[in-house]
């Protein structure tokens, strides 16, 4: 079968032939429909993040997948079920985090991530997975099911942020998303659908005309250009934010978020930057945190519960939004186009097979 991989020392994805995997006990064989591409995939390909499976020199890419059960084996799934796989797997033997259904909270070393670190991903014609890591989705979502994983990541971060403000009456009105990549725009879409927020903002560094600015404004949010209004100026130029959702991976934003927050506000950091040394006024930021009850948290990955929430959210997002966000779906023959990253690209996917509805 065809598989899209990155090789040790390589800096581009390549198409390889691999044997179709055999499902083990408790596993289903899934025929892959589509697999999305995100900033993490680009970081893995560039060699700045992730790991090869032990003893191997090549990694099958892809962690945002949707497929159809081909062989349900001994699982409670049925052939034809449309499923989305979660990303994390226990590295060796049992793990308390996985047993609790909270693999997203496991520390480094206690998990592999399919397509990212230690285990092959889903960018192949077939993949196998234990039933516990497959989330069923409605047939109607088969085409956009590869968005369930990134939406689940946003769901988890928003849940953590709200939980950190749950000991008092937190009534957020304003939110700022840092980053107009696919994760940032999906988070903005969730915030816009939630009705909790009266005013939304999204920060980027693009000139108009730009498709991401169009999406931001169609969602009713205000576009903030970081070249004119850097994050430390947002509170005075726009307004102090009750919530900041960071999805740029730009390390200074982690600290500048503290200045953008309103008293009692919370910032959720999701970007994964490279190491970078720079100066900050630690005293001023520490003081700002304490005297205004601000919170900053990191959030990574997501669990089955967040995938289920994402499935519901995705079903309620308007068609125009999904049409505008998904700027390209490419057959395996032209897979390289899915990894392009110019300003006309928002979200792309590779299609391994077409979905045919059950009768």
Residues near ligand NAP, by CB under 6 A: 38-40, 43, 153, 179-184, 203-206, 226, 247-250, 270-272, 299-301
What beta strand segments (E) does 23-96 contain? 27-37, 58-60, 64-71, 82-85, 88-89
Query: Residue number with the shortest CB distance to ligand BGC?
Result: 40
Of residues 263-302, those binding ligand BGC (CB under 6 A): 300-301
Q: Contact positions toward Zn ion, by CB under 5 A? A: 38, 40
For 157, list phi and psi in degrees, rounded to 5.
Answer: -65, -40
Nearer to ligand NAP, 88 or 165 (CB): 88
Nearer to Zn ion, 23 or 271 (CB): 271
Quick check: helix, strand or coil at residue 189? Answer: helix
For residue 109, count other CB atoms closer than 10 A to its CB.
Answer: 8
Given 3-state DSSP classes, what are the helix, strand and coil percentages for the chain, each rounded to the nearest 5?
Answer: 30, 30, 40
Does residue 160 belong to the site contacting ligand BGC (CB under 6 A)? Answer: no
Does residue 151 belong to the site contacting ligand BGC (CB under 6 A)? Answer: no
Question: Residue 119 touches which of ligand BGC, Zn ion, ligand NAP, none (CB < 5 to 8 A by kind)?
Answer: none
Contact 272, 205 (CB under 8 A): no
Does residue 114 belong to the site contacting ligand BGC (CB under 6 A)? Answer: no
Does residue 190 belong to the site contacting ligand BGC (CB under 6 A)? Answer: no
How far apart are alpha carbons 261 and 178 in whole angstroms?
A: 12
Tokens standing for 164?
């950190």
Dihedral sign from CA coordinates of 183, 185, 190, 196:
positive
The least CB distance from residue 46 to ligand BGC, in Å, is: 14
The least CB distance from residue 233 to ligand NAP, in Å, is: 13
Question: Residue 162 touches which of Zn ion, ligand BGC, ligand NAP, none (CB < 5 to 8 A by kind)?
Answer: none
Angle of helix 182-194 versus helix 304-316 axis, rounded to 10: 70
Nearer to ligand BGC, 87 or 141 (CB): 87
Type and span of the H or E element at 324: helix 319-325
Residues forming contacts to ligand BGC in the complex (CB under 6 A) are 38, 40, 63, 87, 113, 116, 149, 153, 300-301
């Amino acid at each position: 079968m065809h598989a899209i991989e990155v090789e040790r020392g390589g800096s581009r994805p390549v198409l390889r032939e691999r044997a179709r995997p055999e499902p083990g006990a408790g596993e289903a064989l899934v025929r892959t429909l589509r697999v999305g591409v995100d900033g993490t995939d680009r970081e893995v390909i560039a060699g700045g993040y992730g790991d090869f499976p032990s003893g191997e020199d090549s990694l099958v890419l892809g962690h945002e997948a949707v497929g159809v059960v081909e062989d349900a084996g001994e699982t409670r799934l049925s052939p034809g079920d449309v499923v989305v796989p979660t990303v994390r797997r226990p590295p060796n033997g049992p793990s308390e985090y996985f047993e609790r259904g909270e693999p997203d909270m496991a520390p480094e070393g206690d998990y592999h991530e399919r397509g990212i670190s230690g285990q092959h991903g889903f960018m192949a014609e077939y993949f196998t997975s234990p039933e516990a890591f497959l989330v069923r989705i409605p047939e109607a979502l088969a085409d956009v099911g590869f968005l369930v994983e990134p939406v689940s990541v946003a769901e988890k971060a928003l849940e953590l942020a709200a939980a950190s403000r749950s000991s008092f009456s937190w009534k957020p009105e304003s939110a700022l998303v840092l980053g107009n990549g696919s994760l940032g725009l999906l988070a903005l879409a969730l915030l816009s659908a939630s009705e909790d927020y009266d005013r939304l903002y999204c920060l980027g560094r693009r000139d108009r005309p730009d498709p991401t600015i169009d999406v931001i404004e169609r969602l009713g949010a205000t576009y903030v250009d970081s070249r004119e209004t850097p994050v430390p100026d947002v509170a005075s130029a726009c307004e102090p934010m009750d919530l900041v959702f960071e999805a740029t991976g730009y390390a200074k934003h982690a600290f500048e978020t503290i200045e953008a927050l309103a008293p009692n506000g919370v910032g959720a950091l999701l970007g994964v930057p490279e190491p970078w040394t720079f100066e900050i006024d630690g005293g001023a930021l520490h003081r700002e945190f304490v005297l205004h009850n601000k919170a900053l948290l990191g959030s990574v990955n997501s669990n089955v519960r967040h995938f289920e929430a994402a499935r519901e959210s995705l079903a309620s997002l308007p068609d125009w939004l999904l049409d505008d966000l998904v700027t390209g779906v490419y057959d395996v023959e032209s897979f390289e186009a899915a990894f392009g990253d110019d300003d006309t690209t928002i979200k792309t996917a590779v299609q391994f097979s077409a979905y045919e509805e059950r009768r």
